Structure 1
Amino acid sequence: MRLADIARASRDIGAASARTEKVALLAELFRAADPADAPVVIMYMAGRLPQRRIGVGWSSLKERREPAAEPRLGVREVDALLTRIAAVSGKGERKRLLDELMGAATEEEQLFLVRLISGELRQGALDAVAVEGLASAAGAPVADVRQAVMLSGSPAAVAEVLLAEGPSALGRFRLTVGRPVLPMLAHTAKNVGEALARTGPCALEEKLDGIRIQVHRDGDDVRVFTRTLADITDRTPEVVSLVRTLPVRQVVLDGELLAFDERGRPRPFQETSGRTGSTLDVVGAQTAVPLSPVFFEVLYVDGEDLLAVPASERRALLDRLVPEAQRVRRLVVADPTAPEERAAAEAFASEALERGQEGVVVKSLDAAYSAGRRGTSWLKVKPVHTLDLVVLGAEWGHGRRTGTLSNLHLGARAADGSFAMLGKTFKGLTDALLAWQTERLRKLVVTEEPWGVTVRPELVVEIAFDGVQRSTRYPAGVTLRFARVVRYRDDKLPADADTVESVTALLP
């Protein structure tokens, strides 16, 4: 497939307002694609590079190159060039390769590539929409394609097989030990009472302030993955040693990785993050701090896939396999309408906070494990509201902050794939974090203004706030009250950020 076909489709999809029209355009594109091109095509249409980052900044991209008169670039040729650009270390060679690529592209192709590489491709073709288009092109049920993507961890792998072999090939995508799946996620509830009313019979579990991990064991081979499916096995020997002692041959576990102090309370998130290769070690991560896994789900045991098994049964099996010290604390609420059980739930949530945890997660006892989905059968309750937002820009500081990028412009994910600004904040920044933030944002600059910079939407930051209120000042019609920075979440991608919909749901 030619790059010109993708650039044209991207333009048409961006101009389409209805989701059904976007899906139809994507389906047409996928039908025309060679199966071998499909992994790259679906990534591009979701606005992402297979290489993730290639070391090219905005200053290089904005340089004018004479466009080619006729389209001649193929998709795989472009992908190979971008892989070469990502692999080189010298700026001169990287620029030469970028010039080679851009010089072979037409004006429309250049525009597409600039937006794709800079992370500014806003065409409304999110992963979910791209998956629907893929399903339509292959004549496969959307739910089956979505499940295959969740279990493979990548729409690219599913696209190639599905377009080459048809819907029957989806059956090969199963939970496989050693291949991580996208984790199940939770929606937000305002308080414990609301969560109990929405879930019915449930269990409350402590919401831990650590790094989400998924652990796969096959015999003596143990692999540890993050929520973004990065392999951190070599940085977590404690986890490997513990899981090897469990009375199973094969197992897949879901949990959190934390550092605890001498009182058994969780240490700051940055210390855990530093041990697992975080870029935030500048703010005080200690590489010597020991880590402890705490598990709350078992997804697979000795040949049996447990994803569809009710949560109560999965937990009973987890209790038999994992020592109590490595299992999350929980409280079962069989009848949420009973006053005594509601009181016990409120008390459990208060005790979790006293032990230094973030809050609780309320989980339906009947829930299956929906890999990669943010379902209402899991509801998180935290006393201090926080959101994971994307940094869209920053303003130069004043006074003692002169020379630093201080006041952050914060955005939530919109339905069309863009990020809608919700407000600004400069609160909660330590001197060390301010310095790190300035250095990092300078590498992501898209435009420079007298007041500050706009940046590629790559950094996810956790923001605490006191409430949500309506506002005509911002495009989503809402803003945050008393927003302040909690921490940067380098374990999350922009696609993991909270949505405008989830923010507006918090309006009183």
Structure 2
Amino acid sequence: MKFKELSQVFTKLSSTTKRLEMTAILEDFFKKLKCEDIGFVVQLCMGKVFPANDPKELGIANNMMIETLAITGGVSVEDVKKLWKIHGDLGETAKYVIGKKKQVTLYSNDLTLDKVKENLYKIPDMTGKGSVEKKLKIVSELLSNADPEEALYLTRIVLGSMRTGVGEGVVRDALGKAFNVTSDDIEKAYNLCTDYSYVSETLCKNPKNISNIKLKLFSPIKVMLFKKVSSVKEGFEEVGKPAIIEVKYDGMRLQIHKLGNEVRMFTRNLDEVTRQFPDAVKYIKESIKANECIIEAEMVGFNPKTDKPEPFQQLSTRIKRKYDVDKLSKDLPVKIFCFDLLMLDKKSFLDDNFEERHNKLVSIIKPNPNIMIAKGIKTDSESDAEKLFTEGIKEQEGVMFKNLKAPYQAGSRVGFGVKLKSHMTELDLVITEAYYGKGKRRDWFGSFTLSCLDPDDGKYLSIGKLGTGFSDEQFEELTKKLKPLVMKENNEKVVLTPSVVVEVEYEEIQKSPTYDSGFALRFPRLIRFRNDKKPDEIATISDVEELA
């Protein structure tokens, strides 16, 4: 397949903002694809090279792409930067640079999808000395064989910012229409395997086999989500009486996969963190009395001197650290609080009710000071629930209410459980724009546009600006983190690839024509960075509408 065919589809997608038109464009295209091509194409349509459950990254940011364009186009780095400022997008800059070069060279386009895949798949393995030059060369090879339109989309693919408006929802619906399968069945399969390339290849070969995609050991799933409630009374109204009520810990949600002596751990983001937590692996091997299982738990960092829990921000330093892992295990030891059982000895427990899953979980955990069942009670008493909530907010976040008869529904916020926290005026949002500060902060970003998600089309809708709750050190650190994500820049403002998720508190939500969402946060303030969440897990526009 020629890459040109795909770039033409991207151009069609970019020409419309209507979800149904995008879905129809992709439906028609998916029907024509060979099964060996469709998986990679589906990933690229969403602006991703690798599936969600694959930790590989290209690791190419704006500056490296600018250098690549300069080498390929035979111009200076400064010239590319000037063109970037004019066009406001490195993809459009690549289109211009390659277009100018093609005008003075003889060229026959033969760039194939297989060649794009081959080259991009090599990049994550390029590490260490000389890796930058190797990456430049391999991307430059693709651009040299691309026409201007292909260069536009190759650049955006490499930078992880397609800007076509296509999200998972559009891809899911297009696949459903192309292969006559319901969107719900496709989403269910994806939530269990977290790989749209595998889902699409399965559909292409035989749509009926979509029902054969099941829970699999060492393949993390999309976790079941819980919506917020504002009171104990509302919690019981949502899940019924009696219910199991558990402490909601301020830690990292963890999927534990165990087979014999092999243990692997994944975050709710599907990132593997086994290597970062050798102490946790040791506790799991010692205390989980099952040969093969998948367990959900919360991992919490504790002060080794006081044995008091530390905020999640402290634990996140261990998640990001590649070195001195053993030292960090001593400086910030962890405890694991188990709360659900998804698989045991090859049997999936997803369709079993929560009380049965919980009872089975209790039977296979040998508690010790470092790993235990999450503290909780089974009750229909509002006063007992209030007591546990009061206890839960002293050192942790609050409590969870869980429906005894509910199955486990991966990836869904379906009301089978709810959370009651001490501060209800909180939202997880993503930073989509940044503004340079003034005075001593003129070299840093000093305020940020926050956005919620419209899951139907994958668009991020602005909802307010954030500039308080940061120390000078955090302003400087965040500027360094956001700089590689810049897609468009002028003298005061930059547009960013949505990546950095923050939890903010606010006074109220008001209707406002100022922001894309139609709402505005009043007095938002940073609580913490959510390194454990991806942009597609933030608050949705529906969440905002319910809170307004």
Q: Does the alignment pair 1:258 with 2:272?
A: no
Distance 1:490 1:469 in 2: 28
Distance 2:16 2:228 in 1: 31
Q: Does the alignment pair 1:295 with 2:300?
A: no
Distance 1:303 1:100 in 2: 46
* SS in structure 1 at match of 2:161: coil
> 1:156 offset after TM fit, Å?
1.2
Q: Does the alignment pair 1:117 with 2:158?
A: yes
CA RMSD of aligned residues (A): 2.6
> 1:16 offset after TM fit, Å?
4.9
Q: 187-196 or 73-82, which moves further after superposition?
A: 187-196
* SS in structure 2 at match of 1:65: helix
Q: Does the alignment pair 1:135 with 2:176?
A: yes
Q: 2:227 aligns with which of 187, 190, 209?
A: 187
Kindly provide the CA deviation profile for residues 453-504 of structure 1, in whole angstroms up to 9, marking residues without a partner as x: 2222121122222221111211111111221122222222222222122112
| Contact residue 501 and residue 530 of structure 2 kept, 8 A | yes
Instruction: Give TM-score, length-normalised by structure 1.
Output: 0.90
Matched-pair identity in %? 27
> 1:53 offset after TM fit, Å?
3.5
Q: Does the alignment pair 1:491 with 2:532?
A: yes
| Contact residue 278 and residue 490 of structure 1 kept, 8 A | no
Structure 2: stretches of 5+ with no match in the other structure: 51-55, 67-89
Aligned to 2:146: 105
Aligned to 2:433: 393
Aligned to 1:338: none
Q: 65-74 or 411-420, which moves further after superposition?
A: 65-74
Distance 1:440 1:138 in 2: 41
Aligned to 2:121: 83
Amino acid at match of 1:57: N
Distance 1:119 1:500 in 2: 23
| Contact residue 271 and residue 286 of structure 1 kept, 8 A | no
Instruction: Give TM-score, length-normalised by structure 2.
Output: 0.83
Q: Does the alignment pair 1:267 with 2:305?
A: no
| Contact residue 409 and residue 423 of structure 1 kept, 8 A | yes
Aligned CA distance change for structure 1 residues 26 and 395 (closer, same or farther; 3 Å):
same
| Contact residue 500 and residue 531 of structure 2 kept, 8 A | yes
* SS in structure 1 at match of 2:320: coil
Aligned to 1:316: 359
**1:224-243 aligned within 5 A:** 224-243=265-284
Structure 1: stretches of 5+ with no match in the other structure: 335-340
> 1:37 offset after TM fit, Å?
1.3
Kindly provide the CA deviation profile for residues 363-408 of structure 1, in whole angstroms up to 9, marking residues without a partner as x: 2222211112232222222232322211112222234433221211
> 1:7 offset after TM fit, Å?
2.7
**1:7-406 aligned within 5 A:** 7-16=7-16, 19-50=19-50, 52-57=57-62, 60=66, 61=90, 62-63=93-94, 64-67=96-99, 72-88=110-126, 89-164=130-205, 166-201=206-241, 202-245=243-286, 246-261=288-303, 262-277=305-320, 288-323=331-366, 326-334=372-380, 341-354=381-394, 356-384=395-423, 385-406=425-446
How many aligned positions are there? Answer: 496
Distance 2:330 2:155 in 1: 38
* SS in structure 1 at match of 2:258: strand
Aligned CA distance change for structure 1 residues 185 and 119 (closer, same or farther; 3 Å):
same
Amino acid at match of 2:376: R
Kindly provide the CA deviation profile for residues 412-468 of structure 1, in whole angstroms up to 9, marking residues without a partner as x: 112422211111112111233222111111222222322242222121122222221
Distance 1:99 1:121 in 2: 19
Q: 220-229 or 89-98, which moves further after superposition?
A: 89-98
Distance 1:479 1:332 in 2: 39
Kindly provide the CA deviation profile for residues 337-370 of structure 1, in whole angstroms up to 9, marking residues without a partner as x: xxxx22332332222101x111222222222111
Q: 2:504 aligns with which of 463, 469, 475?
A: 463
> 1:198 offset after TM fit, Å?
2.3
> 1:71 offset after TM fit, Å?
5.5
Distance 1:197 1:317 in 2: 26
Distance 2:507 2:12 in 1: 41
Aligned to 2:74: none
Query: By percentage of residues, which structure has more helix?
Result: 2
Distance 1:502 1:71 in 2: 47
Distance 1:292 1:103 in 2: 53
Distance 1:360 1:136 in 2: 41
Distance 1:326 1:10 in 2: 50
